[in-house]
Structure 1
Amino acid sequence: MSVLLLEVFYGGSHKQLVDLLKKSVEDCVSFTLPAKKWHWRARTSALSDKYLNIYTDIQFSVLNLAELVVLRPDLARLKKVLYFHENQLVYPVRKSQERDFQYGYNQILSCLVADVVVFNSAFNMESFLSSISTFMKTMPDHRPKDLDRLIRPKCRVLHFPIRFPDVTRFLPAHKRLRHSVRCDDIHAPATQSHVQTSTIYATKCCPELTIDSEPSEKIVNVAGPQQSLEPMSVTTRQETLQIQPKSRPCGDERENLQPLHIVWPHRWEHDKDPQLFFQTLLKLKERQLSFEVSVLGETFTDVPDIFLEAKEQLVDHIQHWGFMPSKEDYLKALCQADVVVSTAKHEFFGVAMLEAVHCGCYPLCLKALVYPEIFPATYLYSTPEQRCKRLQDFCKRPQLVRHHVTQVNNVNFSGSQINRKDSYREF
């Protein structure tokens, strides 16, 4: 199979995906442009000399396709796969009049040209398809109808593949892995002796983990509602794990005296709603609660003013502040944190949240957007007040999260699934 990857914004999670595909897919070639000025990339990238001069013995491509196919009609005969990491029909803007019609219109045209349209989540797909009709009504007249019906049969969901490295050496004692957990970079594919449902963490001083290897054909839906923060049973087709706490409390008392460490690992842009996040932290500070914060994530040309203001107001609570170019340093910082928080106004997948979970963080995210598709209900909040209340409780009792067994299924989002399932070959 010959594969051509075209990425006009080669940075962040876009770069992460392209790099993973290049390693995982045989006979793969990529043509990329630097991650700068995405507005201009969306408008003009099809005219790039790099794309106008690409060779044509390719069967598979990933790009906004409409203009490129017009400029290179020889590419029309190839099988064209369009991958949606986000969609412009519901991407949040500060004011409705700021939404540029062209970006969403280009995506719709590209879907009509493509043979297969792949979304990184069901939320991304459904929000796009259900918004097409309303979006086209912004045209003054001669509005096309039923475009969603033309596009939907082409659509598929393929979760963003993440390469989860082995972070055991970075974990503090209370996060140290207590079970054989498959890590993409160092282990062979999981077998019946491996847990294939959830990443299991336990405290160093809680060895009371028993495994019942009796096979079970029933799978417990770990994404369903969970009311307790206590360890729970997790059932897979291969084995049943039960955490059986003893009467004595787990954890070292000195560890529990350490302040709760909160991490926010998102892009420093308005759509991630940093204003709401910092408002919550300032409430915790006003209530004289003990906590530390690490504000990570990539910055771009325009950084919201709230970051400078928050840095001054939270200076005594800051553990890390700013983007970490080194992936290893970034993972170390995540491993030292207790809770990872999202306040995003939009999220079509959320790589940073799952990476933090892999590093042993307790996730706290909105009960909306893509999050209910990925995270069990115990990690979701409905209102800012609920989020603040959860963090307040965690500040008072950090052992609630430090001794918690993570119930998030990372296996479904592992990059190795590309090769194991050969998901891309069905296209």
Structure 2
Amino acid sequence: MKILLLSAYDADSHRYWHQNLIRQFPEHEWTLLTLPARYFAWRIRGNSLSWAFGEQRPLLEQPYDLVIATSMTDLSALKGMVPNLASIPSVVYFHENQFAYPATDNAHKSVEPQILNIYTAACADRILFNTTYNRDSFFSGAQALLKKLPDHVPAGLLTQLRERASVLPVPLENELFSPAQKLQTKLTDWRDNDRKALRIVWAARWEYDKGPTHLLAILEQLEKQNTDYRLCLMGQSFRHSPKEFKLISERFKHRLVQFGYAESREEYLQWLRSADAFLSTALHEFQGLSVLEAVACGCTPVLPAREVYPALFAEQYLYNCAEDIDQEATAACNKLSEAATERDTRMPPDVSYISWNNQRGAYEDMLNSITAKN
């Protein structure tokens, strides 16, 4: 089967997904086109223009059996600009949707990304979401938006889209569930040779929607409680990353064992395998790959009871959320204290169901069914 895969805003999680997808199905002939994950407003609106009239057009005009596109791809426009794509079966994969972002001055104000999500879904034969939370928030958001439009809104559109929609998670690499390799000395030394300190990892994009304000409040609370802990703080930083990260590097230097990107994928996983707890403060999360990877590596998750997390993890791993940030920080610290007390006896939750070993069959069925119908 010849498959065209389009990732129009190739963020880390999107890359993780398509690289493993291609690796899992070498029997197919893949053509991958990507665009960098930057200049969001231009990228989400202009990707069809960039591809259709750019140097990749000859690749788009090749005969394919299937097109797979991420939801950032302006697929409806691309099919109009490159007519041969219109007759090829297509699947759209939603890593996220534009309806469930937290309200903030930093968020994109335009409604256009939401409209484009609907257009892309409407022109696909199959719509896939990585979680039920992603699917449900897309449809509730789309319904609310369509109700606001003045006239000529097609009746039954969302019903049609629901009939084509299903949930298929981004699988975790099988290697995560293999016995951990012996850790390097520099990673096992968290400045605490007797292992009394709680080893905490926080790993996410250094952006407002991952809750840096909440992270700072939690660390301040841990200090007030005289908690003995060490912090490995990883993730992708940007030119205009929130100021909280600089404050953390200054105020909590004595707690930090890692600050910034790990030097390699192997080192990143070693940090996870040598940690006790994985802390999330996310205000926006559709699947939480970093959390799932950490749990697969043996970390106890300490997560806010919002977004996708209540659908993935039991209550014992969730801390209560509150409008008062200090109150929420206290709840998170209480969960971290539980993790410290039980770290030698508590087993992390089982997330092996989301491994490629257990999800490959569902992906294979998807690939075969969409082409069989056409």
Q: TM-score, normalised by structure 1?
A: 0.75
Matched, 1:57 2:51: no
Q: What secondary structure, in the 3-state scheme, does the structure 2 residue paired with 1:281 have?
A: helix
1:393/1:413 CA distance change after superposition, 3 Å:
closer
Task: Structure 2 unaligned segments of length 5 or more: list them.
Answer: 185-191
**CA displacement, residues 302-322 of structure 1 (integer Å, 9 cap, x when unaligned):** 200111012111111111110
1:93·1:99 contact (CA, 8 Å) conserved in 2? no
Distance in 2 (alpha carbons) for counterparts of 1:43 and 1:381 = 38
2:320·2:331 contact (CA, 8 Å) conserved in 1? no
**CA displacement, residues 155-196 of structure 1 (integer Å, 9 cap, x when unaligned):** 010011121423512469xxxxxxxxxxxxxxxxxxxxxxxx
Matched, 1:23 2:28: no
2:276·2:339 contact (CA, 8 Å) conserved in 1? no
**Counterpart residue identity of residue 303, structure 2:** C
Matched, 1:327 2:332: no
Q: Which residue matches 2:189? A: none
Q: Which residue matches 2:139? A: 129
Distance in 2 (alpha carbons) for counterparts of 1:393 and 1:6 = 41
Of 128, 134, 158, the residue aligned with 2:168 is 158
Alpha-carbon RMSD across the aligned residues, in angstroms, is 2.6
Say which one has the larger Rg: 1
1:284/1:152 CA distance change after superposition, 3 Å:
same
Q: Which residue matches 1:353? A: 291
**CA displacement, residues 95-134 of structure 1 (integer Å, 9 cap, x when unaligned):** 4994211111011011111111100001100110111121
**CA displacement, residues 353-389 of structure 1 (integer Å, 9 cap, x when unaligned):** 0111111110011222211222122212222546634
- In the alignment of these two chains, the number of paired residues is 347
Q: Which residue matches 1:178? A: none
Distance in 1 (alpha carbons) for counterparts of 2:183 and 2:365 = 32
**CA displacement, residues 302-345 of structure 1 (integer Å, 9 cap, x when unaligned):** 20011101211111111111012410111111122111111111
Of 80, 89, 94, the residue aligned with 1:84 is 94
Seq. identity, %:
28
Higher mean alpha-carbon deviation, 391-400 vs 345-354, is at 391-400
1:396/1:8 CA distance change after superposition, 3 Å:
closer
2:231·2:256 contact (CA, 8 Å) conserved in 1? yes
Of 181, 190, 205, the residue aligned with 1:169 is 181
1:289·1:392 contact (CA, 8 Å) conserved in 2? no
Matched, 1:371 2:309: yes
Q: What secondary structure, in the 3-state scheme, does the structure 2 residue paired with 1:258 have?
A: coil
Matched, 1:269 2:207: yes
2:204·2:290 contact (CA, 8 Å) conserved in 1? yes
Matched, 1:391 2:333: yes
Higher mean alpha-carbon deviation, 104-113 vs 359-368, is at 359-368
Q: What secondary structure, in the 3-state scheme, does the structure 1 residue paired with 2:240 have?
A: coil
Distance in 2 (alpha carbons) for counterparts of 1:141 and 1:354 = 43
- 1:23-422 matches, within 5 Å, as 23-25=23-25, 26-48=28-50, 49-53=54-58, 54-63=60-69, 64=73, 65-95=75-105, 98-139=108-149, 142-165=152-175, 166=178, 168-170=180-182, 257-383=195-321, 385=327, 388-389=330-331, 391-392=333-334, 394-395=336-337, 398-408=340-350, 410-421=351-362, 422=364
**CA displacement, residues 239-279 of structure 1 (integer Å, 9 cap, x when unaligned):** xxxxxxxxxxxxxxx98752101111111001111110110
Distance in 2 (alpha carbons) for counterparts of 1:357 and 1:72 = 43
**Counterpart residue identity of residue 52, structure 1:** R
Distance in 2 (alpha carbons) for counterparts of 1:150 and 1:396 = 46
**CA displacement, residues 50-104 of structure 1 (integer Å, 9 cap, x when unaligned):** 5533233212222221110110121111101000000001222414994211111
1:290/1:270 CA distance change after superposition, 3 Å:
same
1:27/1:287 CA distance change after superposition, 3 Å:
same
Task: Structure 1 unaligned segments of length 5 or more: list them.
Answer: 173-253
Q: What secondary structure, in the 3-state scheme, does the structure 2 residue paired with 1:402 have?
A: coil
1:417/1:57 CA distance change after superposition, 3 Å:
farther
2:306·2:321 contact (CA, 8 Å) conserved in 1? no
**Counterpart residue identity of residue 402, structure 1:** D
1:7·1:31 contact (CA, 8 Å) conserved in 2? yes
Distance in 1 (alpha carbons) for counterparts of 2:335 and 2:36 = 43
Structure 1: which 4+ aligned runs deviate by more than 6 Å?
Answer: none
Q: TM-score, normalised by structure 2?
A: 0.85
Q: What secondary structure, in the 3-state scheme, does the structure 1 residue paired with 2:47 have?
A: helix
**CA displacement, residues 172-225 of structure 1 (integer Å, 9 cap, x when unaligned):** 9xxxxxxxxxxxxxxxxxxxxxxxxxxxxxxxxxxxxxxxxxxxxxxxxxxxxx
1:66·1:110 contact (CA, 8 Å) conserved in 2? yes
